[in-house]
Amino acid sequence: MLHRAWFRQFDYLLFAGALCLCAIGLVGIYSATIHGADSALFVRQAIWIGAGVFLAFLVMAIDYRFLTDHALLFYGLTMLLLVAVLIFGREINGSKSWIRFGSFGIQPSEPAKIVVILTLASYLSQLNDNYLRRKDVAALAGLTLLPVILITMQGDLGTALTFLPILVGTMLVAGLRLKFLIFVLVVILCVAPLGWLTLKDYQKQRILVTLNPDLDPNGVGYQTRQSLIAIGSGGLMGKGLGNGLQSQLGFVPEIHSDFIFALLAEELGFLGAAAILSLYLAGLLRMVGIGDRANDRAGILIVTGVASLVCFHVFVNVGMTLGIMPAIGIPLPLLSYGGSSTLAMFMALGLVLNVHSRRFVYSEASV
């Protein structure tokens, strides 16, 4: 359980920054639903945040060495859940990603990200070499690609892609040779044409519209086009909460979830958007510092995996709203509406706080 000394080592700044992002997200969700939309979304998200805070402290209470020691067990159970989704899952918005138990539903692909972080950290923490060998790279790729394939089969390409920065980030920190990195990039470029053939038509259209915004302005490109108008119309100070025309009149679909940044940029302006991005940057820098101060390989790699995941989410989601990335349904961490994604991000936060609170407990000498 949590020891008093660990609370003295608790990173209050990182946790406070996360809560600030949650508060801004709640404000955005309230604004998005203030004029007749589902007002229950605000209450639901507040409940998810409360549950997430509890989950973060629960994860923090369990020694991360225990979690990495049992990572393969968690991994196996998670893969079974992902397979179960394919058999028993419920399709929502073209993706069969949910398992429902009465009125309650879970999206196993979200906690799967945390399990993969633990699994890669567990594998890499047992290596003594300064550089990864070919068999290590192959093993890490296999552990990551299995959930990627299962989630892609569910029709959720966006979530599947979020596993790749976890793999790349942890391998780079663990000691990936430059020649291996170049080899991986070459393989990706060679496989990309085959990957294109496996995409559904609407997924191909989203990529093509990103390259050419005028290709289908009233179809696939409509959402991104309206998002750009919303962000541009916000100006320096914004139009005020509840006063954004693009946001409040329904021109931007999914404004409370994937495109919440467009709403906040329109109603809070450039300064508000800059403040949000600054909070993310501060949090990521804080994670880098925690990883740098961690005294064992597992802790360093856990923080690396979480930071890589959060960075990718922010970059892609904001890029979606700005039209420089395809609209692939990746939420903005702690701001976008969504129970599974919120809980997963708080689990990730709990892991980072876990490593930080135990930085004096473990050292390489104790490995």
For residue 14, which phi and psi values (nearest 5 degrees)? -65, -45
Q: Where are the beta strands (DSSP E) in the chain?
A: 90-92, 95-101, 104-106
Of 304-308, 334-338, 357-361, highest mean pLDDT: 304-308
The percentage of residues in the chain with a pLDDT greater than 90, rounded to a whole number, is 47
For 34-38, what is the mean pLDDT? 69
- Euclidean distance between CA atoms 157 and 148, whole angstroms: 8
> At residue 93, does pLDDT exceed 70?
no
> At residue 99, does pLDDT exceed 90?
no
Longest dimension (CA), the chain: 61
**Who's near 214: CB < 8 A, 6+ residues apart?**
221
On average, the pLDDT of the chain sits at 85
Residue 217's pLDDT is: 64
Total residue length of the chain:
367
Residue 219's pLDDT is: 66
Amino acid identity, position 171:
M
> At residue 330, does pLDDT exceed 60?
yes
The candidate with the shortest Cα–Cα distance to 229, out of 252, 208, 250, 211, is: 252
Q: Give the tens place of pLDDT for each residue, 260-279.
A: 999 999 999 999 999 999 99
For 200-219, what is the mean pLDDT? 69
Residue scoring higher pLDDT (356 or 227) = 356
Residue scoring higher pLDDT (224 or 103) = 224
**Who's near 3: CB < 8 A, 6+ residues apart?**
none
Residue extents of the structural domains in the chain: 12-362
